[in-house]
Amino acid sequence: MNYVDIPPPPPHAELRADVDVDLAGTVHRVRRLAARAFVTLLLPGGLLQVVVEGGVPESVRTGAALRVEGRLRTASLRDPALAWPGLELAAERVEVLASPTATPPFDLGRPELAATPEHRLEHRPIALRHPKVRAVFTIQAALVRAFREHLDGLGFTGIHSPKLGAQGAEGGASLFELPYFGRRAVLAQSPQLYKEMCVAAFGRVYEVGPVFRAEPHATRRHLNEYTSLDVELGPLGDLGALMALEVGLLRAMFAHVRERCARELALLGVAPPTAARAVSLPFAAVKARSGEAGDDLSPGEERAACAWAEAEAGAELVFVTQYPSSKRPFYARDCAADPTVTESFDLLYRGTEITTGGLRIHEPDVLRAKLVARGMDPEAFGFFLQAHDCGLPPHGGFGLGLERLTALICGLDNVRDAALFPRDAHRLSP
């Protein structure tokens, strides 16, 4: 048989002045003057300005794909969306690779995406092409990259747990159910049981993956499908070590965003994220101060706790500890001194909860008793109990909602704007 050898790809070139290049990209915007045209071209690293003397044909418009040969030269450009404001490409040859047949539903060349939230979501694939929308997901990708790199460096193993299962980890009515080869399956609300069992095999694990909640939410901070950044480790002695781990992780993630996404942060007009100081407060103390009843914190109490910690302690991260046992899942560890509260926390940032975490029950008899006390069937959790019977170290972990964290960093009012293609009770498409 005749075969063709596949060569390795050419190395990735840095763009710099006085270099001849042959680049392909997608047209973001075109400005036509009498004698020349300015084309903003999307490359893998961001937007580059291209100058074409003599102008460009009609087919060169927003959404077209071009191949441009020419020479890079220094420039001093003021468009904050440009990735290379110090460079422009003087085109010598322009080839149109593809050209759109329709005009986008919004003007992508304007500094702001002028559209109602509903209109933006309806035409989400097109809205993603706006530099300010794209910036949100560049920051999101940087957060995930730093999350993984930091934990890889601490000896964690990245895992992939199943999203189809026989029962949920959190209980309650928030499970999506589906027929599965003559049986009933559910979609994972969290990788909780799997990550706990993996602690015995790997010691330290993390997962980046989707989770599904069937709650008919209509709030600005909930989604029915979101990306959870999950961490679990053992042996783990106390809650303080877990909180310290999360502080170190968030600092690394924020530092990475400050270093790699300075342009995106500036484009969005938001302050670079920092986490200079972190404090913890007991749940009861937050309640005593607010004077509100209830065994959970309201959004108003979360905002007030953050404002207080910022003003009094200069702290941006606020761990609220000793949550009531009644509001925590069956696997949460109760405090030895007071079993009505748990060795767990919610972490608040910029006024909103971004994490729930804590120590878990590792003793099989305690876990069985807790399941029975909650009216749950230990038989349904047989494999989870077996993992405890055969030995799980004292362990704990947390889950961090990626979209919510992204929204807070990017100053977005609605978590939907931090999901590429958000899913809520009314939205299953695009």
Within 35-64, which residues bind its own copies (CB under 8 A)?
Answer: 42-45, 62-64
Q: Which is nearer to its own copies, 10 or 78 (CB)?
A: 10
By C-alpha distance, which of 104, 94, 1 is closest to 51?
Answer: 94
Residue pair 112/132 in contact (Cβ under 8 Å)? The answer is yes
How is residue 236 written in tokens? 């783990």
Contacts of 331-335 with CB under 8 Å at 24 or more apart are 331/169, 331/192, 331/193, 331/196, 331/360, 331/361, 331/367, 331/370, 332/358, 332/359, 332/360, 332/361, 333/358, 333/359, 333/360, 333/361, 333/362, 333/396
How is residue 104 written in tokens? 């986008």
Q: Given candidates 114, 241, 266, 307, which one binds its own copies under the rule CB under 8 A? A: 241
Q: Which is nearer to its own copies, 78 or 354 (CB)?
A: 354
- 219 belongs to the binding site for its own copies (CB under 8 A): no
Q: Which is nearer to its own copies, 1 or 35 (CB)?
A: 1
Please count the CA atoms within 13 angstroms of the CA of 88 that sit on its side-chain side: 17
Rounded to whole angstroms, what are the CA distances from 136 to 39, 42, 178, 342? 23, 16, 33, 35
Q: Which is nearer to its own copies, 392 or 408 (CB)?
A: 392
Contact positions with its own copies (CB under 8 A) in 172-191: 176-181, 183, 185, 187
Closest contact distance (angstroms) between CB of 237 and its own copies is 7
Region near its own copies per CB under 8 A, out of 4-12, 112-120, 266-274, 293-301 = 4-12
Contact positions with its own copies (CB under 8 A) in 392-421: 392-394, 402, 419-421
Contact positions with its own copies (CB under 8 A) in 322-351: none
User: In degrees, to the nearest 5, what angle opens at C-alpha 297 toward C-alphas 293 and 301?
Assistant: 90
Residue pair 416/154 in contact (Cβ under 8 Å)? The answer is no
- 279 belongs to the binding site for its own copies (CB under 8 A): yes
How is residue 362 written in tokens? 């590792």
Q: Which residues contact 429 (CB under 8 A, 6 or more apart)?
A: none
Q: Given candidates 9, 54, 291, 375, which one binds its own copies under the rule CB under 8 A? A: 9
Q: Given candidates 39, 49, 120, 165, which one binds its own copies under the rule CB under 8 A? A: 165
Q: Which is nearer to its own copies, 7 or 34 (CB)?
A: 7
Q: Given candidates 243, 265, 354, 415, which one binds its own copies under the rule CB under 8 A? A: 243
- Separation of CA 36 from chain center: 42
Q: Which is nearer to its own copies, 332 or 419 (CB)?
A: 419
Q: Given candidates 245, 261, 267, 297, which one binds its own copies under the rule CB under 8 A? A: 245
By C-alpha distance, which of 408, 422, 286, 280 is closest to 353?
Answer: 408
Residue pair 303/343 in contact (Cβ under 8 Å)? The answer is no
Residue pair 171/376 in contact (Cβ under 8 Å)? The answer is yes
How is residue 85 written in tokens? 């404001």
Contact positions with its own copies (CB under 8 A) in 283-322: 285-286, 289, 308-309, 312-313, 315, 317, 319
Q: Given candidates 21, 90, 115, 200, which one binds its own copies under the rule CB under 8 A? A: 200
Q: Which is nearer to its own copies, 34 or 171 (CB)?
A: 171
Contact positions with its own copies (CB under 8 A) in 87-146: 97-105, 123-126, 128-129, 133-134, 137-138, 140-141, 144-145
Q: Is 260 helix (H, G, I), strand (E, B) or coil?
A: helix
Residue whose tokens read 């010598």: 92
- 234 belongs to the binding site for its own copies (CB under 8 A): yes
Q: Which is nearer to its own copies, 262 or 390 (CB)?
A: 390
Q: Given candidates 53, 58, 92, 152, which one binds its own copies under the rule CB under 8 A? A: 152
- Each residue 246-265 as x (binds its own copies by CB under 8 A) or -, in order, gives -xx--x--------------
Contact positions with its own copies (CB under 8 A) in 361-390: 362-365, 383-384, 386-387, 389-390
Size of the site for its own copies (CB under 8 A): 140
Closest contact distance (angstroms) between CB of 375 and its own copies is 21
By C-alpha distance, which of 310, 389, 294 is closest to 348?
Answer: 310
Q: Per the omega criterion (within 30 degrees of 0), is the bond before 8 cis?
A: no
Give the amino acid at 203. G
Q: Which is nearer to its own copies, 76 or 251 (CB)?
A: 251
Q: Given candidates 17, 19, 244, 276, which one binds its own copies under the rule CB under 8 A? A: 244
